[in-house]
Amino acid sequence: MKKITLGTNGLEVGRIGLGCMGMSAFYSGAGQDDAGSIATIHRAIELGVTFFDTAEMYGPYINEELVGAAVAGRRDQVVIATKFGTILHRGDGSRGLDGSRENVRISVEGSLARLGTDYIDLYYQHRMDPGTPIEETVGALAELITEGKIRGYGLSEAAPATIRRAHAVHPVTALQTEYSLWSRDPEAEILPVVRELGIGFVPYSPLGRGFLTGTIRSLDQLEETDFRRTNPRFAGDNLEANIRIVEQVDAVAAELGAKPGQVALAWLLAQGDDIAPIPGTKRVSYLEENVAADALELSADQLEALDAVAAPVGDRYADMSPVNR
């Protein structure tokens, strides 16, 4: 697999990573097959995937434990990214935004223990805390870098002004936000800012929460606990309207003899050498499909056709207030 460097501190990763959230939380079947999820992580390493994404919120906590168990004995082969800032650490797993210096310290110690490691390669603030100046949060993260507990830090769903303020305190290694053929908002302001500042870009949900694979045609396919049932883009008439996007991706896939999800990833990789998407799966077969997108080349005409895909109907989340701020 081709490799890229995120940020300016030399963090090298395979340019397709693995999002591990769905192994433990939020999606249909999450948490039902830890052995299969661990096998998927092991197969990913065999295929040259080095970049694994988790968070304390996923579970909470159990996804970090799962990733830690999977990479035990393989730590020098992987780059681990995890996230803090959405758990209040009151002993009950309660959620809320907390970017305070104290919470940064509490959170990192917990993540290190659950991951079974003495350092984290990339430590993201999961969502921005409006009650704590970003300068305070980054100051605490810079201390962790000096102490060797983290190698670099990132921000997730931060607005351009916040990115600039954070970067002025200590260089940001990577910015993570949703980006795909059905979530192109970062192109307007986020991508120009991170490229200006030399920050890596990590798109999450690069397959549109599974929608761009072409396998989801009805909410009846999703379990009652699957969070996509509350996502506006999967709701009612929006779902039917958004199927047209998949049909356009599928048309390009048919030309190439590829899967729609592979085409969606290949389009994303074609957007720049500083992009490392993290498609999520807990199944080896889907992992192998995703990794194969690394070798898929789209023609200029195919890229143009995909660029022309219409924007989806509906917001990315039912509550958009915590993102892009």
Q: Annotated active-site positions, please?
A: 58
What is the rounded CA–CA span in Å between residue 192 and residue 63? 32
DSSP 120: B
Q: Are strands 79-84 and 3-6 parallel, antiparallel or unpaired?
A: unpaired
Peptide bond into 60 cis (omega under 30): yes
DSSP assignment string, 191-249: HHHHHHHT-EEEEESTTTTTGGGT----GGGS-TT-GGGG-GGGSHHHHHHHHHHHHHH
- Dihedral (CA of 268, 274, 276, 277) sign: negative
For residue 238, give Cα distances in angstroms to 53, 64, 164, 235, 323: 29, 34, 35, 6, 21
Tally helices (H) and strands (E) across the chain: 10, 9
| Residue 126 burial (10 A CB sphere; 0-12, 13-18, 19+) | buried
Residue holding tokens 């769905």?
22
Phi/psi for 84 (5° steps) reads -135, 175
For residue 313, give Cα distances in angstroms to 154, 214, 289, 304: 30, 16, 27, 21
Give the largest Cα separation in the chain, rounded.
55
DSSP 97: -
Yes or no: say if 292 and 2 are a contact pair by the CB < 8 Å rule. Answer: no
